[in-house]
Amino acid sequence: MSQAMEYYFSPLACSFAGHVLIREAGLEIAMRPVSLRRKETDDGRAFADISAKSQVPVLKFGDGRILTENSAVLQVLADMAPERLYLPDRSTPAGQSTLEWVNYVATEVHKLSLYPVFSDGVPSEVKRWARENLEKKLAFATARLSRSRYLAGDTFTIADAYFGWALMLTLRAGLWKPADGLLAYWNRLLERPAFTGAIEVEEELFEKFA
Ligand SMILES: N[C@@H](CCC(=O)N[C@@H](CS)C(=O)NCC(=O)O)C(=O)O
């Protein structure tokens, strides 16, 4: 028997991007918080039993199959959205630019820069390098955003949902001050009820599930 789709996320982790998209698109997907510290789901199951990677996000389909990797999950969620608003046709320049920016955020901003900055056990020299690198990566995106409202053009896409998470994290940690060229973009994100709604929900869940 087919079951409801589920989205496994951890409050304020990179799975925030998919949460925003689910809200933006009004998708009927059950939200399942996961504690990454305890590696446990909200109903006390071992997260490794859901996904051997034990990393968020995880999208679970009605037939029990799972999909992991943020870039892939975001594209699949976008494909389910009405009128494919958040990922233009991949054969168009706008669609290709969206994929380019999603991968930039996943590799250059998230894994190469944010991951070492926020992970325990990373040598301080590596953390310093990662912080400097983060500044360069944010500067590149800032230059782009001086020419368009959103990363891939004038409409909000999955790349913005992901980059918005990165900005939220750096802002909370005091690594980015809202005074540079990103401020107008950040305020534009905050005008979106799906974005602020996801922040509100995840902040409330943070203590319990971080
Ligand atoms: N390659 C994965 C990485 C996702 C990832 O780094 N998730 C983090 C949260 S932002 C996580 O689950 N960390 C816990 C862990 O790595 O054990 C993806 O792109 O989805």
Domains present along the chain, CATH in parentheses: 6-85+196-209 (3.40.30.10), 93-192 (1.20.1050.10)
**Average pLDDT along the chain:** 95
Find the 56 Cα to ligand 1 centroid distance in Å.
5
* Cα→Cα distances 6→31, 48, 58, 122, Å: 6, 16, 8, 33
97 lines ligand 1 (CB under 6 A): no
Q: What is the pLDDT of residue 17?
A: 98
Residue 178: both structure tokens together: 């809202």
Does position 2 have pLDDT exceeding 80, yes or no? no
How buried is residue 152: exposed, middle or buried, by Cβ count under 10 Å (0-12/13-18/19+)?
Answer: buried
Does position 209 have pLDDT exceeding 90, yes or no? no
Share of the chain above pLDDT 70, in %: 100
Residue 60: pLDDT band with limits 50, 70, 90: very high
Shortest-distance Cα residue to atom 11 of ligand 1: 55
70 lines ligand 1 (CB under 6 A): yes
Shortest-distance Cα residue to atom 16 of ligand 1: 55
56 lines ligand 1 (CB under 6 A): yes
Q: What is the pLDDT of residue 1?
A: 64
Q: Look up residue 170 and give its amino acid.
A: T
Residue 82: pLDDT band with limits 50, 70, 90: confident
Does position 129 have pLDDT exceeding 80, yes or no? yes
Q: Which atom of ligand 1 is nearest to the CA of 36?
A: 14
Shortest-distance Cα residue to atom 14 of ligand 1: 55
Provide the 3-class DSSP secondary structure of residue 157.
Answer: coil
Task: Say if residues 161 and 110 touch (Cβ distance below 8 Å).
Answer: no
Average pLDDT over residues 115-133: 96
Average pLDDT over residues 98-104: 98
Average pLDDT over residues 122-135: 96
Residue 203's φ and ψ, nearest 5 degrees, are: -65, -35
59 lines ligand 1 (CB under 6 A): no
Does position 110 have pLDDT exceeding 80, yes or no? yes
Q: What is the pLDDT of residue 178?
A: 75
Does position 12 have pLDDT exceeding 70, yes or no? yes
Q: What is the pLDDT of residue 186?
A: 97
For the chain, what's the residue count?
210
Average pLDDT over residues 67-90: 95
* Whole-angstrom Cα Rg for the chain: 17
Average pLDDT over residues 184-206: 97
69 lines ligand 1 (CB under 6 A): yes
Does position 91 have pLDDT exceeding 90, yes or no? yes
Does position 169 have pLDDT exceeding 80, yes or no? yes
C-alpha to C-alpha distance for 132 and 40, rounded to whole angstroms: 34
